[in-house]
Structure 1
Amino acid sequence: MNSKLGQKIRKIILIIIGAAIAAYGLEAVLIPNSVIDGGVTGVSIMGSKIFGLPLGLFLFILNIPFVYLGYKQIGKTFAIMSIIGIAALSIGTVLMHDIDPILSANDPLLVVASGGILLGVGIGIVLRNGGALDGSEVLAVLISRKIPFSVGDVILFINVFIFTIAAFVYTLESALYSALTYYIAKVVIDIVQVGLEKSKSVQVISSKSDIIGQAVQDRLGRGVTYTLGRGGFSNEETDILQCVINRMEETKMLSIIKEIDPSAFIVISDVAEVRGGNFKKRDIH
């Protein structure tokens, strides 16, 4: 019980920290330079500018319906963590509203890069700990179930609409910089959530699979698995080698395979998450 409570407290603290980082990125970098984010956050920033009301008020009110949808579709824990994150973001933007900007519009690319990184780090920390700061993705999941488009397509459409409106509220230049900020933030979110050592799955079809597998274990420190396959043209049985590595090991893996069998057939694909088994790299030094 104490361990579970400690984990929940730790997650709540990290969610608040992540929300504070995102709030700082908005108030100290992006908003003073007329750059917005996508999703509900972008709509809230424009609403705050048009109506002259606090950004935190719009962030909290506009996200509540999506938190309710998240509660229905994902669960109570997600909803609670999201409410904590959104409340922290809303309060953070109010407290930091009068903070001095750290960058000026004289260097818009620096504004976009730093703002996107701060937003990405903050949102990524919140997502990694089971919460959310923006309800647009929950909406995209629900819409995608009703129409023949993926979640990513729906999110893209929503944000194209938001950035188009931003071109009228601000300027076309600000809208384009906002779109670039959103892209940078999404990349950073992926890095924070998955980590720099994003996993990859490697499949190797070769007549020398056993030799390659032994070399991978000895020189790369990764475990391998063999499955029996049969060639469609040759009708011959062969071992298919499978291995999970991180992306920084990809070049070394390819080097080992090509050294042993230059004609080997190799398939490499991204892996969203790896759990269980003995994925931790064995010390080979």
Structure 2
Amino acid sequence: MKNKLKDILVDYFFINFGLVISAIGIGLFLVPGKIVSGGVSGIATILYYTFNLPVGLVMLALNIPLFLIGLKIFGKTYGVKTFFGTVFLSVYIDLLRFIIPNANNIIDFDKASNALIAPIFGGVITGIGVGLIMKFGGSTGGTDIVAQIINKYFKIPLGYSFIFIDGLILLAGSSVFGIEKGLYAIISLYAGAVAINKIFEGVSYSKMIYIISDYHEDIKNLILHDFDRGGTGLYGNGLYTNKDKKIIMTVLKNNEIHELKNYVKQIDPNAFVIISEVYEVLGEGFTPF
């Protein structure tokens, strides 16, 4: 029970941290830069410049009905964490812009030399925040609920649903702020997506290596003793030779790969080596569970 409570508190700590980071990205970069890169925050940005309505309050007003619709359609999928994210992201954005009343003027985003600051920094910072929120099971609600409703009732793939909704919002932003801002918004979308993936999936600090060699015993001893790593021996069959082969599978840190390749080349210049990215490794010698 104590461990479960600890896990819940850790989840909410990082979700809250992600919400603060997202609020900085939206409130200090995307909104002042007039970057409408989709989502409820994009709609709120348009309404802020059109009717001078507070960004956070508009987001909350749009998100609450969407949350209730999602709760009715999808049930417990949209639970406490989604409600927490929906409410507090809006609160943090308006609180931040209240604490920093000249947020729109800290950087002159209309200056040609500063044009890329808002889409790149806004996209990356917001993406980092959203990635953290998602990594710990949270959500900020918004248009992802609409996308899932479209997916459920019209059988349009979720990815296309997101593109369709964000595309409409982006077009609306372009019509208000101009095509140039619309193109910058696409950069922001891409930067945000990359940041979300890096945070959600993890930055690759390790590589998975498959080694096929007739000198597998020598290579096995090399990995066990010189690199102090474990591995797994797999059995395969050569399609061309029809001979049984032993395959060594192991995981090494990025800075160990170059040294391993040199050693394997010395042992067997004809070895077949496959190296692929690994985003998370749990266990002895790497990240503990």
Q: Same fold (TM over 0.5)?
A: yes
Structure 2 counterpart of 1:104: 108
Structure 1 counterpart of 2:85: 85
Give the drift of 1:129. 1.9
User: Which deviates further from its counterpart, 80-89 or 5-14?
Assistant: 5-14
CA 1:248–1:81: 2 relative to 1, 3 Å = farther
Root mean square deviation, CA, Å = 3.2
Unaligned runs of 5+ in 2: none
Q: Does 1:127 align with 2:134?
A: yes
Kindly name which structure, 1 or 2, has the bigger radius of gyration based on alpha carbons.
2
Structure 2 counterpart of 1:238: 245
Instruction: Check whether the contact 1:201–1:270 (CA below 8 A) recurs between aligned residues.
Output: yes
Structure 1 counterpart of 2:31: 31
- What amino acid is the match of 2:91? I
Q: In structure 1, what is the Cα distance between the partners aligned to 2:159 and 2:271? A: 34
- Of residues 256, 278, 286, the one that matches 1:280 is 286
Give the drift of 1:144. 5.6
| Helix, strand or coil at the partner of 1:239 | strand
Q: Does 1:186 align with 2:193?
A: yes
Give the drift of 1:252. 4.3
Q: Does 1:44 align with 2:51?
A: no
Structure 2 counterpart of 1:228: 235
Give the drift of 1:226. 0.9
CA 1:69–1:113: 2 relative to 1, 3 Å = same
TM normalised by structure 2 equals 0.79
Instruction: Check whether the contact 2:38–2:166 (CA below 8 A) recurs between aligned residues.
Output: yes
Give the drift of 1:68. 5.8
Instruction: Check whether the contact 2:210–2:273 (CA below 8 A) recurs between aligned residues.
Output: yes
Superposed CA deviations along residues 68-105 of structure 1, whole A, max 9, x for unmatched, are 647976955x6311211221110112212342233221
Identity across the alignment (%): 28
- What amino acid is the match of 1:90? S
- What amino acid is the match of 1:42? G
| Helix, strand or coil at the partner of 2:10 | helix
- Of residues 166, 171, 181, the one that matches 1:174 is 181
Instruction: Check whether the contact 2:37–2:169 (CA below 8 A) recurs between aligned residues.
Output: no
Instruction: Check whether the contact 1:41–1:59 (CA below 8 A) recurs between aligned residues.
Output: yes
Give the drift of 1:28. 1.6
Give the drift of 1:246. 4.8
Q: In structure 1, what is the Cα distance between the partners aligned to 2:12 and 2:18? A: 10
- What amino acid is the match of 2:107? L
CA 1:238–1:142: 2 relative to 1, 3 Å = farther
Q: In structure 1, what is the Cα distance between the partners aligned to 2:146 and 2:234? A: 41
CA 1:108–1:242: 2 relative to 1, 3 Å = same
Superposed CA deviations along residues 161-188 of structure 1, whole A, max 9, x for unmatched, are 3322221121111111122122222222
- What amino acid is the match of 2:166? N
Q: In structure 1, what is the Cα distance between the partners aligned to 2:131 and 2:239? A: 44
Q: In structure 2, what is the Cα distance between the partners aligned to 1:253 and 1:217? A: 12
| Helix, strand or coil at the partner of 1:228 | strand
TM normalised by structure 1 equals 0.80
Give the drift of 1:49. 3.5
Q: In structure 1, what is the Cα distance between the partners aligned to 2:177 and 2:127? A: 23
Superposed CA deviations along residues 44-64 of structure 1, whole A, max 9, x for unmatched, are 323444444322233234334
CA 1:245–1:19: 2 relative to 1, 3 Å = same
User: Which deviates further from its counterpart, 227-236 or 99-108?
Assistant: 99-108
Structure 1 residues 54-93: aligned runs within 5 Å: 54-64=54-64, 65=66, 69=70, 75=76, 79-93=79-93
Give the drift of 1:67. 7.4
User: Which deviates further from its counterpart, 21-30 or 204-213?
Assistant: 204-213
User: Which deviates further from its counterpart, 245-254 or 42-51?
Assistant: 245-254
Q: In structure 2, what is the Cα distance between the partners aligned to 1:38 and 1:92? A: 19
- What amino acid is the match of 1:36? V
Q: In structure 2, what is the Cα distance between the partners aligned to 1:194 and 1:204? A: 25
Structure 2 counterpart of 1:195: 202
